[in-house]
Amino acid sequence: MMLPLLLAALAAQPAPRDLIRGGAAWTSAASDGVSSQVAITGGALDLDYDFAKVSGYAVARRALPLDWPANYALRLRIRGTGGVNDLQIKFSDAAGTNVWWVQRRNFRPTPDGQTITIRPRDLEFAWGPTTDKTLRKTVSLEIVVVRGRDGGAGRITIDELTFEPLPPPVPLPPPRASDPRALDGHRDTLAPLRRPLTIDFGGRKELGGLTLHWGRKPATSYRIDASDDGRRWHALRTVTNGDGGTDPVRLPDTETRWLRITAPGAPDLAELDVMPPAWGTPPNAMIAALAKTAPRGTYPRGFTEQSYWTLVATDGGGGSGLIGEDGTIEVARGGFSLEPSVIADGKRFGWADVTATHRLRDGSLPMPAVDWRADGWSLTTTLVADHATARLLARWRLTNTGNRPRTLRLRIAVRPFQVNPPAQFLSQQGGVSPISRIAWTAGHLAVTTPAAIAGDPVPVRTLYPLTKPNSVALRPFTQGALADDTTVCHATTVEDPDRLASATLDWERTLAPGETLDIPLVIGGDTTPTTAAFDAAETATAAYWKRTLGTVAITVPPSKQAVADTVRTALAHILMSRDGPALKPGTRSYDRSWIRDGAMMGDTLLRLGHPAPVRAFADWYGTKLFGNGKVPCCVDARGPDPVPENDSQGEYIHLVTQLYRYTGDRPALARDWPKLDAARRYMEGQRQSEQTPANLTPDRRHLYGLMPPSISHEGYSAEAQYSLWDNFWALTGYKDATFAATVLGRPEAATIAVQRDQFAQDIRAAITASTRRFGIDFIPGATSLGDFDATSTTMALDPAGEEARLDPRLLANTFDRQYARVMARTRPDATWADYTPYELRNVSALVRLRQRNRANDLLAAYMADRRPAAWNGWAEVVGRDPREIRFIGDMPHAWVASDFIRAALDLFAYVRTDEGAVVVAAGLDHKWLLGTGSSIKGLRTPYGTLDLSAREAGGTLLMTIAGDIAAPGGFVIPWPLSGKPGPARINGKVVQPRDGKLHVMKSTPLQIEWRPLR
């Protein structure tokens, strides 16, 4: 009955539609700095492109109305020349804002060509504001080549591009096996494979692989073949070193009617599971499926629950390893991992069987440790990036904590997994890290990874254990499917076609009570150092970080020590996340450099006395500007990105101007001026483009004179908006350009000042119009939406310095609401899902709004979300349920680290640039002033170095202000204690407060004794 229905449906379906010829003409387009040309030659579409030295894209586009059925096949025959880039096929709706696409990353065209078939499961919603992402109707088609690994120039030619509506899929009958016991689900019923086992699916079936459950007599070798007609067979997979048990066999992108399994020796097959397509691609899906059914701890935590980690690298990014909260070490960016376990009394203890705690050397140095505690023993795992060589130094110390001698075995497993878990993606996909070959020779282990897949630029990485292991076992995936068993494999080399090879190194000792087994291991390089050299490198690296992180010294009461420690660690996170001159927010998911992040990290580094990385970043980024003055939002190995994010120009201007403020290097500012002013002129063109009569009408007045809409704010990635984040950064750019022009004596200074003032007035008018349009009583995140986003609004206060010129009612309401939102999360019955710790900027905002108690409440709430707390770092995303799997971005996230540092430093002092004044101790509440109080020494400002100490004694504030600082607007000191402030003595002279503040125009040093009003 089913066959006639299928034949009737096939007869009724329309013929495939040719999408190349007929209808609207093809046009070409390209991003800034990229050239493209399109032509129809002999019925084929040619797209020529040249990426030159930039990132970006080349597009062939045409209008093409399409109604999409539930089932279809989109086929293209593509050939060409050129390097490895990304290929995208995109369809857009009538508004052009909702897009569906297919991406083929790392696509290399060949002269002979290939055919690509796209099914409904392959075409995904890319972006857009719609909530209904179902693909129903589109009106345009784009073929896009996106700059990938190689870039360069090339051509793609599409000979055939057809769209074929298909009838709904007909359910296949249950599969039939030549021995039905193989599919009956009863594993106690064995099916000896005396002859090939053949399975007929009754029609072409998509599958992702097989899981073979072997019985008492397993197959050590077997072959899997496929056929579409039952006569002509082709091999899918050959296994030559199986060990029985359960064999997961990935068969990605397989579609066939028949399968055949052939094995010599009549082995026992208890059951065969046919796995769905998603199981086979990518490898993470298979491992996740295995982890769900395996005992907890068999696979890395990240496959079944959220995990956390921290970065270990040199200043400048060398080494770049990770260590996970469970003690697992990732040996390189995208590389494999080293996972410890301990065998005690015949039982294996892994991460799921112990109590783990965390620490940093001296509480703040980026030299992390994981301590395991179990009954009668402990294990400490440490990881250090040698400052001198950038080699990673791993160490395990297994200690007998009992009261009797004990035989303990330390096992270090080399596993094809990153510490970066599978939920992480963007620049790099977390999870599996392929290992194709492992060799043990001459006392070291050489691990080969397919570098293009793993993301590791070093295809062979060598491990040097400085203590010889008792045993070494090497395994392909088919031997135990990564199970960490006690079987010793004596092979010295293993090659794995699954690219999931693993190894274990074991050290066994009988330890007296209190005795420790010390196992140092060096990762990378080409020589084996001595244990003495290993120890010396650890000591030298610690000394380097103490010097580097100690440029600003902070002393605080014990209750605030975590803040001071985290300032130092967060500075290390910024320095370690660098890649040469490039300041980056992270090393895995965000392995690229944004001007936005770099400008804000630059402010942090300048305040902490590290101008050299900021200068290097500004010089490097300045070479990436487009010829028209446009500043790329970000730069990576492919070059500058052309996506318009309209905060970028203001951020670049701010970056180079701040360098002058902190270093006084006028020649450098003069060298930067042509690029600075080009960015300002590009920005001015953008501003004028929105000064249209249409935007002066009542329903669009909230858009007049602003920067054009963009997606610089992540919340607006679905549809570009008139983001005030962009506009406050642009206003900062105008202000800093005016300052720079004045310093350099440029004739444009007066003109830029007029532009600055007009723009500031337009922003304020747009805010007022937006509040009326949307009926809101706060400053919106985007004037085109009327949405709430106080974290964006913080830019109005710093760096834009607009606090005194914004509507005070709207400003107060904005941050009242933000405070309530954050504090609501701390309630036990809170139902929030997640947030981004960029919100730390709100601490600084509340300090500037003279709300020190609220600022400290927020800081405490955000500090509680460091994970693990002792490692002093935040991910980009914090979830309410710490074990719910989600994308959390890089951890640590260097931009978040810089937001935290600025918030912490602002408690001690911040600059009001427009007045040239320094506000001192505005965020220090009574808890900071207890006992010996708090001090900061060496804090940099545009006016010199500030040393500050403050404490409370019997209700009196005792403060010292010193350093070489000479602020033209003097010092402003708000009263920090309870009660009303009385007169103060400054260097013995009585001074009266005004509005609860002292305004001091004297030079340092200043000795201040300030009593409450009696």
How sure is the predictor about 456, in pLDDT bands with cuts at 50, 70 and 90?
A: low
> Rounded distance, CA 965 to CA 289, Å?
61
Q: What is the mean pLDDT of the chain?
A: 93
Residue 280's pLDDT band (cuts 50, 70, 90): confident
1 pLDDT band, cuts 50/70/90, is very low
For position 487, what pLDDT does the model report? Answer: 54
Residue 488 has pLDDT above 90, yes or no: no
d(CA 272, CA 211): 6
Side chain identity at 539, as an amino acid letter? T
Q: Which of 364-368, 639-643, 775-779, 846-850 has the lowest mean pLDDT?
A: 639-643
- Mean local confidence (pLDDT), 389-414: 97
**Structure confidence at residue 194 (pLDDT):** 83
For residue 640, what pLDDT is reported? Answer: 95
Q: Identify the top-confidence range among 102-116, 554-568, 712-726.
A: 554-568
Q: What angle do CA 559, 564, 568 make, to 5 degrees?
A: 155
pLDDT for 479 equals 82
pLDDT at 10: 44
Residue 35: pLDDT band (50, 70, 90) is very high
Q: What are the contacts of 697-700 at 24+ separation with CB within 8 A? A: 699/773
Q: Which domains does the chain have, with CATH numbers?
A: 14-165 (2.60.120.430), 176-281 (2.60.120.260), 301-547 (2.70.98.40), 550-909 (1.50.10.10), 915-1012 (2.60.40)
Phi and psi based region of residue 68 (left: phi greater than 0; alpha: psi -120 to 50; beta: remaining) = beta
pLDDT at 459: 86
Predicted TM-score of the model (pTM): 0.94
Q: Kindly report which listed range (9-23, 116-130, 210-224, 826-840) carries the lowest average pLDDT score.
A: 9-23
pLDDT confidence of residue 482? 72
Mean predicted confidence (pLDDT) in 798-827: 97
Distance CA 378, CA 371 (A): 7
**Least trusted range by pLDDT, from 269-278, 284-293, 638-647:** 269-278
Confidence tier at 183 by pLDDT (50, 70, 90)? low
CA distance 442 to 303: 35
Banded pLDDT at 181 (limits 50, 70, 90): low
- Model confidence at 1001, pLDDT cuts 50, 70, 90, reads very high
Token pair 């050239």 in the structure block, residue: 35
What is the spatial distance between Cα 902 and Cα 604, in angstroms, rounded to a whole number? 6
Tokens 């504001």 belong to which residue? 129
pLDDT (mean) for 221-242: 92
Q: What is the pLDDT of residue 174?
A: 81
Q: What is the pLDDT of residue 188?
A: 47
Query: What's the rounded mean pLDDT across residues 339-360?
Result: 97
Please state the rounded mean pLDDT for residues 312-339: 97
> Is residue 767 classed as helix, strand or coil in its secondary structure?
helix
Q: Is the peptide bond before 434 cis (omega within 30 degrees of 0)?
A: no
- Rounded mean pLDDT, 338-361: 97
CA distance linking residue 534 with residue 549, whole number of Å:
23
Q: Is the pLDDT of residue 527 over 90?
A: no
- Which tokens go with 950? 């403050």
**Segment 554-578, tens digit of pLDDT:** 999 999 999 999 999 999 999 999 9
Query: Based on the number of CB atoms within 10 Å of its own CB, is 472 exposed (0-12), middle (13-18) or buried (19 or more)?
Result: buried
- 8 confidence band (pLDDT: 50, 70, 90): very low
- Name residue 40's amino acid: I
Task: Give the confidence band of 612 by pLDDT, cuts at 50, 70, 90.
Answer: very high
